[in-house]
Amino acid sequence: MRWMAGDISVATPSSRLFLGLIPWYGLLIVLGAALAVFLADREASRLSFPKDTILDLALWILPIGILGARAYYVIFSWPDFRFRSPLSVLYIWEGGLAIYGGLLAGLLVVLVFSRRRKLSLPRLLDVLIPGVALAQAIGRWGNYFNQEAYGPRLDAASPFAFFPLAVLIQDPAGDSWHVATFFLESCWDFLIFLFLIVARRRLFRRQGDGFLFYVLLYASGRLVVENLRMDSLYLGPAIRVSQLLSFFAALLVWGTLLSRRFASRSARKGLLPGHVLPVAAAGVPVLLFCLGIPVFPEQLPVQMGSLCLFSLILIVSAFILYGPSRAEEVLYANHSAA
């Protein structure tokens, strides 16, 4: 197959526009958002939420989420906008939406909405979050059409220099293959979506657990993938903002699960050597690295290996801390989940 050999017609988008009119970037975001609303509305109906709860929420969360995503990007890319037209901050079809900004803004909207409607915030988040993961998986392909969110350059002879693991970036100095970090994150987001769909009827025992595991898994994956990106948003000269935020977000969820386990005296045995020490041993150098301190050699494989090891330890430890669930314990297995 030609595309497996690196066919330029596939590895490089032929146009940023669908049918020559609509930016693919915006179209994919709208498609992902529509599917997220559809899935959340079905789950809300299954769990006997008031009618049109999700549709009413969508009217607020979608525009404010986009504004939050754009604001996050503009704030941490301000030098790029300083000498441009003020209206350029609105050109979202050119790219420049940071998912963490959208998530934080969306979380604030859900918080206010749940209080005004007297709904359980953790339960509402559990309803929404699988669709969010799917929307991210779809929306990431907008980066392909905009030729952004890619990783380091690959030699043309590299075994990884083929689409979709790599993309051919057009440049006046000569086109070159780069790691398709958007594809890696898209795959990870889709796996998170599948896990959440299955786990909410087979694993989760408390309201909000679906949201917690989404944060844990997404942040752990983003921590790794962010290190490959060539267009990361920086705080100062060396701190990748989204990487540092991912570290603390994943660690916060792990800490929450650890505290639950610690609350049970009978389950405390083995927490220190089995969970705390491994996470601390792998996490301290990763934290220093995220803070811009050169604790790892400059070789990318060493850095990636350390980040992957920490994320793996954190995820495995979190699942062990959570433990299996008996059928009668699963919160959302029945239509009447409270």
Per-residue model confidence (pLDDT) at position 9 = 59
3-state SS, residue 16: coil
Predicted confidence at residue 219, as pLDDT, reads: 98
Residue 20 has pLDDT above 90, yes or no: no
Q: Note the pLDDT of residue 334.
A: 66
Of 338 and 160, the one with more pLDDT: 160
DSSP state of 272: I
Per-residue model confidence (pLDDT) at position 19: 81
Query: Is the separation of the CB atoms in 44 and 128 below 8 Å?
Result: no
CB crowding 47-62: b at 16 or more within 10 Å, else e = bebeeebbeebbeebb
Stronger pLDDT, 267 or 323, i.e. the higher one: 323
pLDDT in tens, 232-242: 999 988 999 99
Average pLDDT, integer, range 215-228: 98
User: Residue 142 CB: number of other CB atoms within 10 A?
Assistant: 24
Confidence of residue 267 (pLDDT cuts 50, 70, 90): low
Q: What is the pLDDT of residue 112?
A: 97
pLDDT value of residue 172? 76
Higher pLDDT, 57 or 98: 57
Does the pLDDT of residue 6 top 60, yes or no? Answer: no
- Return the DSSP state at 235: E
pLDDT (mean) for 129-153: 94
| Helix (H) or strand (E) run with residue 178 in it | strand 176-179
* pLDDT for the residue 87: 67
Please report which helix (H) or strand (E) contains residue 18, including its range.
Answer: strand 17-18
Mean pLDDT of the chain: 89
Write out the DSSP string of 115-169.
Answer: HHTT--HHHHHHHHHHHHHHHHHHHTHHHHHHT-S--SEE-TTSTT-STTTEEEE
The residues with which 179 forms a beta bridge, in sequence order, are 166
pLDDT of residue 331: 87
The confidence score (pLDDT) of residue 202 equals: 93
How would you classify residue 206: left for phi > 0, otherwise alpha for psi between -120 and 50, otherwise beta? beta
Does the pLDDT value for residue 338 go beyond 50? no
Q: 320 by DSSP, 3-state: which?
A: helix
Share of the chain above pLDDT 70, in %: 91
CA separation, residue 54 to residues 38, 66, 105, 127, 257 (Å) = 9, 17, 17, 9, 29
> pLDDT by residue (tens digit) across 43-91?
999 999 999 999 999 999 999 999 999 889 888 887 777 667 666 677 6
Please give the share of the chain, as a percent, with pLDDT higher than 90.
67
Q: Which has the minimum average pLDDT: 40-49, 60-69, 173-182, 203-212?
A: 173-182
Q: What's the pLDDT at 272? A: 72
Q: What pLDDT band is residue 332 in, cutting at 50, 70 and 90?
A: confident
Pairwise CA distance, residues 33 & 40, whole Å: 10
